[in-house]
Amino acid sequence: MLYIIGLGLSDEFDITLRGLNAIKTCERVYLEAYTSILMVEKEKLEALYQKNVIVADREMVETQSDEILKDADKINVAFLVVGDPYGATTHTDLVIRAEELGIQVKAIHNASIMNAVGCTGLQLYNFGQTISMVFFTESWRPDSWYDRVKENSNLGLHTLCLLDIKVKEQSVENLVRGRLIYEPPRYMTTNQAIDQLLEIEQSRNEKAYTEDTLAVAVARVGSDSQKLASGTLKQLLTTDMGGPLHSLVLVGKRLHIMEAEVLRKFAVGLEEFNRVLVSEYNVK
């Protein structure tokens, strides 16, 4: 059996009892470590599981899946995913490969940012398409996500923005030269995401959002240091949310008064927040 096990959002204790019991039956345990991260070291997972944990980077998962799936038709193998098992398309690809080899697959679900974002007070029913924001480079500034945001905006729906992380990544120069030298880890902040959002709006000028669009900056959801901040994009551009991981929500115009009441509790500037609620969202 191949178990794909969600670990939840924060630390080693977020795993479900079902997931923990499954790990105890496994001969090999892999930790996917590039679509997201837990806020603890793998050694803490090993201490709880009493198993050696193999860190699986992007290269291993995408090009060495045969190694992960080796003998999984005869023994139990665990593939651990931060959040929920199906939070990234890569994990679906691994399931397809396993099933093609006749390996049984069982997913054990857990909380992910896709549902935990409800901590903002925004109703999950009122969210549209989720987008991913990648780090811009000098030569690559993709904006394909803009159309999804605009579609959500036209329907008055909220948009969850998942922010890029770079773990065990090579520079273009080292990649071209075939040098296995990796860049230090980088985690996109809400400040960087907003800066990129505003840059693309300026170039596209289709009014999917503006500096006065309300948003919620979200950091370290599910941990004891969780932080939320609501305000306009202009206000949140300079709001320090601390360490990773960050996410951002663009608030849709169909904002309900109950949602607005919750957002007021962590507004970075209540007077400006209330002004925009009335002028842009027609909420008093």
Shared domain check, 85 and 69? yes
Shared domain check, 228 and 213? yes
Distance of CA 200 to the CA centre of its chain: 21
- Model confidence pLDDT, tens digit, residues 266-277: 999 999 999 999
Shared domain check, 192 and 143? yes
**Would you say 158 is a known binding-site residue?**
no
Shared domain check, 217 and 151? yes
List the domain range (segments joined by +) for residue 230.
112-279
Full-model pTM: 0.92
**Would you say 112 is a known binding-site residue?**
yes
CATH number of the domain where residue 195 is located? 3.30.950.10
Look at residues 225, 132, 139, 244 and name the one whose alpha carbon lies nearest to residue 184.
Answer: 244
The first and second tokens of residue 11, run together, are 């630390």
Shared domain check, 37 and 124? no
Shared domain check, 100 and 122? no
Report how far residue 105's alpha carbon sits from residue 67's, in angstroms, rounded to the nearest whole number.
16
The first and second tokens of residue 14, run together, are 């977020």
When comparing pLDDT for 107 and 37, which is higher?
Answer: 107
- If one counts the domains in the chain, the total is 2
Residues 190-229: b if buried by 16+ CB within 10 A, e if exposed? bbbbbebbbebbeeeeeebbeeebbbbbbbbbbbeeebbb
Shared domain check, 227 and 186? yes
**Would you say 256 is a known binding-site residue?**
no
Of the chain, the end-to-end C-alpha distance in Å amounts to 55
Shared domain check, 213 and 81? no
Task: Quote the pLDDT of residue 59.
Answer: 74
**Would you say 9 is a known binding-site residue?**
yes
pLDDT over threshold 90, residue 56: no
Shared domain check, 200 and 96? no
Q: Domain ends where: 68, 94, 110? A: 110
Shared domain check, 255 and 137? yes
Task: Report if residue 145 sits inside a domain.
Answer: yes
Q: 72 pLDDT band (50/70/90 cuts)? A: very high
Look at residues 70, 78, 72, 69 and name the one whose alpha carbon lies nearest to residue 45.
Answer: 78
**Would you say 144 is a known binding-site residue?**
no
Q: 61 pLDDT band (50/70/90 cuts)? A: confident
**Would you say 221 is a known binding-site residue?**
yes
Task: Report if residue 284 sits inside a domain.
Answer: no
Task: Quote the pLDDT of residue 39.
Answer: 84
When comparing pLDDT for 79 and 178, which is higher?
Answer: 79
Q: 226 pLDDT band (50/70/90 cuts)? A: very high
Burial class (CB in 10 A: 0-12, 13-18, 19+), 96: exposed
Task: Quote the pLDDT of residue 57.
Answer: 80
